[in-house]
Amino acid sequence: MSYTAPLKDMLFNIEHLARIDQVAALPGFEDAGLETAQAVLEECAKLNEGVIAPLNFEGDKNPSFFKDGQVTTTPGFKEAFRQYAEGGWQGLQHPVDFGGQGLPKTIGAACGEILNSANMSFALCPLLTDGAIEALLTAGSDQLKATYLEKLVSGQWTGTMNLTEPQAGSDLAAVRSRAEPQPDGTYKVFGTKIFITYGEHDMAENIVHLVLARVTGAPEGVKGISLFVVPKFLVNADGTLGARNDVHCVSIEHKMGIKASPTAVLQYGDHGGAIGYLVGEENRGLEYMFIMMNAARYAVGVQGISVSERAYQKAVQYAKDRVQSRPVDGSFTTAAPIIHHADVKRMLMTMRAATEGCRAMASVAAAAYDAAHHHPDAEVRKQNATFYEFLVPLVKGYSTEMSLEVTSLGVQVHGGMGFIEETGAAQYYRDAKILTIYEGTTAIQANDLVGRKTARDGGTSAKAIAAQIEKTEAELKARGSANALAVAKRLGAARQAFVDVVEFIAANTKSNPNAAFAGSVPYLLLAGNLMAGWQLARALLVAEDLSAKGQDVPFMQAKITTARFYADHILSRAPGVRDAIVDGAEAVTALPAEAF
Amino acid sequence: MSYTAPLKDMLFNIEHLARIDQVAALPGFEDAGLETAQAVLEECAKLNEGVIAPLNFEGDKNPSFFKDGQVTTTPGFKEAFRQYAEGGWQGLQHPVDFGGQGLPKTIGAACGEILNSANMSFALCPLLTDGAIEALLTAGSDQLKATYLEKLVSGQWTGTMNLTEPQAGSDLAAVRSRAEPQPDGTYKVFGTKIFITYGEHDMAENIVHLVLARVTGAPEGVKGISLFVVPKFLVNADGTLGARNDVHCVSIEHKMGIKASPTAVLQYGDHGGAIGYLVGEENRGLEYMFIMMNAARYAVGVQGISVSERAYQKAVQYAKDRVQSRPVDGSFTTAAPIIHHADVKRMLMTMRAATEGCRAMASVAAAAYDAAHHHPDAEVRKQNATFYEFLVPLVKGYSTEMSLEVTSLGVQVHGGMGFIEETGAAQYYRDAKILTIYEGTTAIQANDLVGRKTARDGGTSAKAIAAQIEKTEAELKARGSANALAVAKRLGAARQAFVDVVEFIAANTKSNPNAAFAGSVPYLLLAGNLMAGWQLARALLVAEDLSAKGQDVPFMQAKITTARFYADHILSRAPGVRDAIVDGAEAVTALPAEAF
């Protein structure tokens, strides 16, 4: 099998770190306990391992292609998507009222990881549809909800996010697409949108585009942007499909990776205007779009974990199969499978620790999301929302940046064979590189972390998390085992580095913004590293307990070693990053542009 | 222009760090002073910028292809190679006796960087030919030299290195190809060789394969391997080409990068035996092959610098052209070219500092090579040889590992456009990944560093270098400028980390080899980081002097800032790496294979 979902690790996180028992105590999630999680994840694994994962390599060899305005996806995708939709997977986390299953993110995020490990290119279609559903749920009128939500939740139709234009990438203030109000309350939309994932395809009957555009006469900049629903096919009053709308795919991109996922250039209004329906109020489009984007950012972070896991599994398999040289410790008298060589183990452990660390962080973030939305106590909701919002740029930025390192090591473990496309390891390396770019580059995530998440409250939220981490350090010290003490040492050093940086950022963001933003991405990496390392430290405490009780000792021992490895080899990077940020800001911006 | 050779930086290194005046004082290099260096580099830049660089993207789109045993290279390659050969570039560093120009490596290495920046796929053909020339010069009989050297040095014929077999990658002890002695003193060679760069192509009349094989009855393992010349076409007594030899290309690989460079599977002896000529003595093949490999390892390190420089130039160009958002420091009232954003500068500075640091290290290593081979005093030759040999795994390992980071940042600077193949940034990311693998993976380089270069002499050579670095620290402190002091601080911390690791490696390699080799790659990265940072620190001292004298102040100021950036942002990683090695060995090998 090319991919086996890491259910044991996921359920360990869900049970012991995300605390599914607490999630199941929230109103509306009464049935979402550990047993439900296990049953759902097992079903999810079955579909993905059996049907969707085998299409991943095929999608790379035989990508979506464009001809005469139509996109034909990789053979097998359409049928796989039918099975995905029929299984109810699109609706997993969406409201029961619109046909969804209403499960918590704590479970849904793990399913998302499985789907993306199986096939990142395929998974992008549901990922974008989730975003469209979120936006409509939050800001759509009852009529828009009634017309679109059920079909999107069932996977009968799919959704897209249309932000980027040639001159407007990270800077949405530069959006030029325009919308002219019509007497009947609709709008005519005109403009060109680029980089539209699944902007055109053959897997669903209709495509529901969520489009940013400026209403005639709207203010300049971000305050004049509105959000529209523009369906590929208009929808009749009875819900059947009507006329083809004036939105057309004019080409798709030739990309380094995720080749099966069609990245469309969409032309709106070349034949009189695409009919669009306003979502919410005029000029509040960016606010609504951020709802979609925040969900999508978390999901892209999970993609980083997914591709890391898949690359890890492939590298482990190769390292167990490939026989080469005698290990230096004399444990073999002949050539051995390369997994017995110390440096191959170092590479595999790095891949494993990074993946498990990011997974643990994402799982805890998901539980915070659930509490932020469902806890009866407003204060608890607020605390959890703050924590979740702090974590989103880290889940997105850190998990994806680490996926570059992990997939690179994945190729490296394969040696020369890794560079040969037929092996398959190279695909993960190529696929992963989009993750630090789309849904906001790492720098954009870091801006969010610096500006909205750190400087705005003077570092209060960040320091509150640091205080939580100190408690874990105290627990580790009280435990007193060699591994716990070693992890406590690195965790303490990383936490102190984080606090130093938080203070530096809080002090400089207004008075010396160049200094703060010169360190923004390093700060994000330090913070993400710390959060992942913290969760693995918590995991170590649990695993030591359970191991002592004789519960699944090999798994618990592996978890302990992985946490220890993470602390010694990855968390240990944190103090150096602090030095680079705090002492190194000046050299970042010292050179004038013409000196480059 | 798509690439401009960084002549100013190269000549700065050659003059002030590699000290070309001292190289030109060596017997045989009397004419190889700074003026010669400048003239040669300018000519080299002209050919590469004008003719070879424009073929790089074309080679990626339209790679070498295989049909019926023949390989057709990218359109334009054959003519470009003709110009390269006619210009005398293949013979640049080779002896005048065989038609070469006999220039020092101090100059030749810079030309190698230019060629590889222009077109890494193209440059691999001369790179391998250089290795074949080295092997024949060192170990070939007079007859072999007379038959092959002049044609190789002129570029009329090209060379290859045939080591790898399906079961013998990093472990050459597993080589199975065999050679049967014939009554006329020749051998018949049989076997399959894979991953043979330019093993078949249409750019030269003949291909001279240097092939590892076992003579019938030879001992097992590495002590039974001999080296043979197996030409594609046999050579008549008068030097004209004779019959086609029994070596045939059966396929070429479909690779992630360096697509224009054909990577051949060669079949020897399927039609009665390929005629081969023994190089040197039987069973000493590995020793000779190491001569080729050491030259090639240095050259691959330079490839890392080359692809980094090319990626940097492309990213700078894009960052100057692409307009997006207002910088946080209020320096623009409208959207600005993205080079004005702090994080874009951080990325560009990281790319620049890594590239310049590795270039400085390689330049100094080249000068040590020249002294090691040409100095009249045997003791000085030995010192320089020791220094050079310590640096080779660092030039190879560190420059190439950094090229992964640099080319990844190169894509990142481009945002979404970086992921589109037409942009060209993705090619460098894909191309670079081979560099940490071929001519010995980073782990193989690290084994060399740990075993032969560190543990064997108990760390003496390593510590002698550390003592040199301490002298530079003292100079920086005596200088007393803010930049010099900041660099001294990071250099001292990195040097101390290096010494700690050297002691750990020396203490553990025999008694606890798993602990030493668990840290081998991190040790290589730390040592390479330190050497590059040290050379930039030396550069800073020179640049401050010259800037004070009013000599090319903008260049000198940029060099000072780059050295400072390197120290704060890259050298600052070193202490964390020390911690990972010294405290983290246990967790690397703790998990049994079945736990993965």
User: What is the residue-level pLDDT of chain B in tens, covering all 596 positions?
Assistant: 589 999 999 999 999 999 999 999 999 999 999 999 999 999 999 999 999 999 999 999 999 999 999 999 999 999 999 999 999 999 999 999 999 999 999 999 999 999 999 999 999 999 999 999 999 999 999 999 999 999 999 999 999 999 999 999 889 999 999 999 999 999 999 999 999 999 999 999 999 999 999 999 999 999 999 999 999 999 999 999 999 999 999 999 999 999 999 999 999 999 999 999 999 999 999 999 888 888 899 999 999 999 999 999 999 999 999 999 999 999 999 999 999 999 999 999 999 999 999 999 999 999 999 999 999 999 999 999 999 999 999 999 999 999 999 999 999 999 999 999 999 999 999 999 999 999 999 999 999 999 999 999 999 999 999 999 999 999 999 999 999 999 999 999 999 999 999 999 999 999 999 999 999 999 999 999 999 999 999 999 999 999 999 999 999 999 999 999 999 999 999 999 999 999 999 999 999 999 99
Burial of A234 (0-12, 13-18, 19+ CB in 10 A): middle
B353 belongs to a structural domain: no
* Residue A42 shares a structural domain with residue A125: yes
Stretch (H or E) spanning B189? strand B187-197
* A24 interfacial to chain B (CB closer than 8 Å): no
B439 is catalytic: yes
* Residue A77 shares a structural domain with residue A179: no
Rounded to a whole number of angstroms, the distance from the CA of A216 to the nearest CA of chain B is 22
Number of helices followed by number of strands (H, E) in chain B: 20, 12
pLDDT of residue B291: 80
Q: Which whole-number Å values give the CA distances from A362 to A122, A132, B349, in the listed order?
A: 21, 22, 31
**Contact assignment for B342 to A441 by CB distance below 8 Å:** no
Q: How confident is the model at residue A473 (pLDDT cuts 50, 70, 90)?
A: very high
The number of domains in chain B is 3
A388 belongs to a structural domain: no
pLDDT score of A195 more than 60: yes
* Residue B87 shares a structural domain with residue B218: no
* Residue B138 shares a structural domain with residue B181: no
* Residue A96 shares a structural domain with residue A217: no
* Residue B477 shares a structural domain with residue B586: yes
CA-nearest of A410, A409, A403 to A424 is: A410
* A324 interfacial to chain B (CB closer than 8 Å): yes
Rounded to a whole number of angstroms, the distance from the CA of B506 to the nearest CA of chain A is 15
Final residue of a domain: which of B240, B258, B283?
B283
Task: Report the C-alpha gap between A404 and B202 in whole angstroms.
Answer: 37
Which residues in B lie closer than 8 A to residue A583 (C-beta atoms)? 486, 568, 572
Beta strands B241-244; B206-215: pairing state: unpaired
DSSP designation for B63? -
* B481 interfacial to chain A (CB closer than 8 Å): no
**Contact assignment for A588 to B256 by CB distance below 8 Å:** no
B327, amino acid identity? P
Q: Kindly report, residue by residue over A67-95, the tens digit of the pLDDT.
A: 999 999 999 999 999 999 999 999 999 99
**Contact assignment for B568 to A583 by CB distance below 8 Å:** yes
B431 belongs to a structural domain: no
Using CB atoms and an 8 Å cut-off, which of residues 427-466 of chain A contact chain B? 429-430, 433-434, 436-438, 441-443, 446
Average pLDDT of chain A is 97
Q: How many other CB atoms are found less than 10 A from the CB of residue B592?
A: 12
pLDDT of residue B290: 85
* Residue B105 shares a structural domain with residue B165: no
Task: Report the C-alpha gap between A32 and A18 in whole angstroms.
Answer: 13
* Residue B102 shares a structural domain with residue B209: no
CA-nearest of A438, A154, A454 to A299 is: A438
ipTM of the predicted structure?
0.98
Q: Which of A4, A572, A581 would you mutate first to test chain B, the one with the most B CBs within 10 A?
A: A572
pLDDT of residue A1: 56
B416 belongs to a structural domain: no
Final residue of a domain: which of B283, B316, B338?
B283
Q: B142: which residues sit within 8 A by CB, 6+ positions away?
A: none
Q: Kindly report, residue by residue over A381-434, the tens digit of the pLDDT.
A: 999 999 999 999 999 999 999 999 999 999 999 999 999 999 999 999 999 999
* B75 interfacial to chain A (CB closer than 8 Å): no
Burial of A470 (0-12, 13-18, 19+ CB in 10 A): middle
**CA B21, chain centre distance (Å):** 24
* Residue A198 shares a structural domain with residue A96: no
A22 belongs to a structural domain: yes
pLDDT of residue B1: 56
Task: Report the C-alpha gap between B329 and B156 in whole angstroms.
Answer: 58
* Residue A477 shares a structural domain with residue A574: yes
* B559 interfacial to chain A (CB closer than 8 Å): no
* Residue A184 shares a structural domain with residue A134: no
* B426 interfacial to chain A (CB closer than 8 Å): yes
Task: Report the C-alpha gap between B195 and B164 in whole angstroms.
Answer: 7
CB-nearest to B591 from A518, A522, A561 is A561
pLDDT of residue A170: 85
pLDDT of residue B347: 98
Task: Report the C-alpha gap between A398 and A86 in whole angstroms.
Answer: 34
A178 bridge partner residues: A190, A214
CATH number for position A226 = 2.40.110.20
Query: Residue B107 is part of which domain span?
Result: 7-63+75-151
Rounded to a whole number of angstroms, the distance from the CA of B365 to the nearest CA of chain A is 26
Q: Which whole-number Å values give the CA distances from B516 to B401, B455, B498, in the listed order?
A: 20, 10, 14
Rounded to a whole number of angstroms, the distance from the CA of A135 to the nearest CA of chain B is 24
CA-nearest of B505, B511, B476, B509 to B490 is: B476
CB pairs under 8 A between A and B: 271
Final residue of a domain: which of B121, B151, B181?
B151
SS3 content of chain B, % helix, strand, coil (to 5): 60, 10, 25
B414 belongs to a structural domain: no
Q: A69: which residues sit within 8 A by CB, 6+ positions away?
A: A200, A248, A249, A250
B239 belongs to a structural domain: yes
* A404 interfacial to chain B (CB closer than 8 Å): yes
Nearest CA in chain A to B566: A587
**Contact assignment for B408 to A486 by CB distance below 8 Å:** no
CA-nearest of B435, B429, B432 to B413 is: B429
Using CB atoms and an 8 Å cut-off, which of residues 492-531 of chain A contact chain B? 513-514, 516-518, 520-522
Using CB atoms and an 8 Å cut-off, which of residues 257-296 of chain B contact chain A? 257
Say what angle helices A520-548 and B342-374 make with each other, to 10 degrees: 80
**Contact assignment for A412 to B441 by CB distance below 8 Å:** yes
Rounded to a whole number of angstroms, the distance from the CA of B239 to the nearest CA of chain A is 36
**Contact assignment for A433 to B411 by CB distance below 8 Å:** yes
**Contact assignment for B433 to A442 by CB distance below 8 Å:** no
Q: What angle do CA A57, A63, A69 make, to 5 degrees?
A: 160
B88 belongs to a structural domain: yes
Task: Report the C-alpha gap between B327 and B340 in whole angstroms.
Answer: 6
A241 bridge partner residues: A235
* Residue A113 shares a structural domain with residue A191: no
- Provide the token pair at B354: 């890594």
